[in-house]
Structure 1
């Protein structure tokens, strides 16, 4: 029986844990706060700051896992590099985790491989940000090099907005790197995520691409398939996305699922970001695929066979967001949402609500039905 040490216990970690438990694994879930979603289904848990190298090393030592499975960005990745040298298995590997936990490292790496990206620059002070913005031009996007769920991200339209963008980025940073990336704003036609699976003993596999919409830098809804695949073969956008995804994931190496994000503009595929783990937009696969993204990640890291990836039906997902700060809240509208045919609801089990925090997800046959169901569910402070 394999033991997984899950570093990060949010909604994605919860589904990884469920998939692993179904295959007989023992799961130890870790996060910085108690009773996080994955902890509710894991065998045991630890609460600590994963940016603290000594504490991370201690937990790895006392748990002695077969696999270390990162699920969030705020991890002292240098310790994972050290642990890998000592023989520990990091998923997909420590190099991939270290590069992708930092937007600057993965963007530079993608550029070094010749992948097309938006123009970008970096800044570590407000003065440097002014210079970086001048080199990119307006409008542009400012993001911390380490953050999640759109935190710290803003769009700058003129010089007056630079100071606020810097303040927003600093407040939204995760970890201890005070650095931002400034990106050219691309008026893309749409965005896609390509779930890419590297195996220990087998070819690289791909799920059908997932279309998604972000607001405030964070995913709001997604759908799969993103493209109608012609009977004559793969969609040309799909083919190019697969080519690019294979280049960068082959270079990173290891085994597991990668979420590779692209902008699509006038039929051209532009690399955006990459996560070496299941992707939030991929929650739609809980509805659409015979093996969802979490099942595929666990199979790949364990070296189990993946004979094929089957889309069993089209579908969509839509997040359920909190609107208020609340330690004690009620969720209403479940009856109304679930009364709709072919609609499912997943509540994540987070015990604290705050504005725009993801508290659950709707799974439905299409985007319209997912949106309608999401509107029916409300998360309100208890009175």
Structure 2
């Protein structure tokens, strides 16, 4: 049962604990008070992935406070909850000051960075990812300049444009094909491939309209012929001897059926030279960002050559395959690293996942219980399979996750086939 926080400004009502007066319940669960000495974790973001992370923290004995601009999935499992304007620095700072958490964990892309900077200066609170990482996660231009200009990491040739005319000039200079992305937003949202001059205007409009943060700049990138794309989950911890990095087995992924399906598998086979290069790139960008937790480093691979593409400073969709492929999932790794506990990245079985999406504005349908049961029965007939169904829109992203099909097998090829079969059965729900 979740409990609401007292005194915050909310845009919709939050239900207190049944049968307990607000004043009494607040005293009972004050995390740093005499009644409870457990670590308190404030999650800024309450989507479906935040729910998995909240559970991971709770299993390690932490008290979890879920915060977002709307009621979300994590609110349903958290010990306490709040609904606030997370891009309002004053309101967010006041909430953190009242609750006095030990850890503040940013799980949403729309957060007042000024509030995180102010809180990070306190000695009694740790902020993850670091405020700088949170800002760069919203700024593809800043992240790319850090990687290329400051760290010297190999990347595809890129340019930035602040108008459709500038983008047209870039296209004329760079040639076609050219990938155009918004400077802020979820991976692949608002992305277009320019094949001819007539594509410039539609690509510009699509890019600047993407995401929930207003922006008027785009990134243009030369199309690099690659063999595959890979996510290298990198766990950064700190201990008596200083920071340490641990790598999960590489995760391969590809987009299918437009933007509606993401296929993911682990491990993605890489030759030794490419794997060494990937780890070197990941180590340099992650150590530059600092902090503790899981970083999803996105890479492009061609033979022995590896190019940096992007980095996610928190668990993301490609990591969901670890719910079945690893001993510790990406959420458990993130929670352990933040709490300063030991981690391991052991893969226990090759695995695959198929993640299904719907548009952010699509209506939330509620199939009859009998329909869900019949579909699940069919889906789970596949060997070594599992599913996750997402019942609420996720406020942290611009497209809504509907469900995840998971499978393991003796090898990746069989695992991918099984995940596709599970996913095909689940599609009957949508």
For normalisation by structure 1, the TM-score amounts to 0.91
Aligned to 1:299: 336
Deviations 1:156-215 (A, max 9, x none): 111111111111112213323322111112221100111111111162111111011135
2:220 matches 1:220: no
Q: Distance in 2 between matches of 1:69 and 1:135?
A: 42
Q: 1:83 to 1:37 in 2, by over 3 A?
A: same
CA contact (8 A) 1:327 1:352 kept: no
Measure, in 1, the Cα distance between the counterparts of 2:223 and 2:270: 27
Separation of aligned partners in 2, 1:327 and 1:43: 26
Structure (1 or 2) with the larger CA radius of gyration: 2
SS in 2 for 1:326: coil
Query: Is the CA contact 2:393–2:401 (under 8 Å) kept in the aligned structure 1?
Result: no
Are the equivalent residues in 2 in contact too, given 1:116–1:271 (CA < 8 A)? yes
Contact kept, 8 Å, 1:322 with 1:355, in 2: the verdict is no
Kept in 2, the 8 Å contact 1:73–1:146? The answer is no
Runs of 5+ unmatched residues, structure 1: 230-234
- Higher mean displacement: 77-86 or 194-203: 77-86
User: Equivalent residue for 1:172?
Assistant: 210
Provide the C-alpha distance between the structure 1 equivalents of 2:98 and 2:377, rounded to a whole number of angstroms: 44
Structure 2 match to 1:205: 246
Deviations 1:238-266 (A, max 9, x none): 22111111111112211111110100013
Deviations 1:138-158 (CA, angstroms, capped at 9, x unpaired): 111111111115322211111
C-alpha change, 1:130 and 1:301, in structure 2 (3 Å) is same
CA distance in 1 between partners of 2:326 and 2:69 (Å) = 32
Deviates more, 1:2-11 or 1:331-340: 331-340
5+ residue gaps, structure 2? 1-37, 409-414
Out of 354, 372, 381, which is 2:421 matched to?
372
Alignment of 1:12-91 (within 5 A): 12-34=49-71, 36-87=72-123, 88-91=125-128
Aligned counterpart for 1:362 among listed residues 401, 405, 416: 405
Task: Give the Cα separation in 2 of the matches to 1:293 and 1:245.
Answer: 16
Q: Mean alpha-carbon deviation: is it higher for 93-102 or for 184-193?
A: 93-102
1:205-284 alignment runs, 5 A limit: 205-215=246-256, 220-227=262-269, 235-284=272-321
Deviations 1:42-91 (A, max 9, x none): 11222233222222222222222111111122222233123212343111
Q: Structure 1 82/128 Cα, relative in aligned 2: closer, same or farther at 3 Å?
A: farther
Per-residue CA shift, 1:300-326, capped at 9, x if unaligned?
1111122x3211111001013347922
CA distance in 2, matches of 1:11, 1:292: 15
Give 1:232's aligned residue: none
- Cα 1:97–1:355 change in 2 (3 A) is closer
Q: What do you get for the CA RMSD once the two structures are aligned?
A: 2.3
Question: Aligned in 2, Cα 1:130/1:71: closer, same or farther, shift over 3 Å?
Answer: same
Separation in 1, partners of 2:164, 2:194: 13
Q: Distance in 2 between matches of 1:63 and 1:46?
A: 11
| 1:9 paired residue number | 46
2:154 aligns with 116
Deviates more, 1:20-29 or 1:350-359: 350-359
* 2:177 matched residue in structure 1: 139
Aligned partners of 2:73 and 2:394 also within 8 Å:
no
State the distance in 2 between where 1:228 and 1:158 align: 34
Contact 2:191–2:207 at 8 Å: present in 1 too?
A: yes
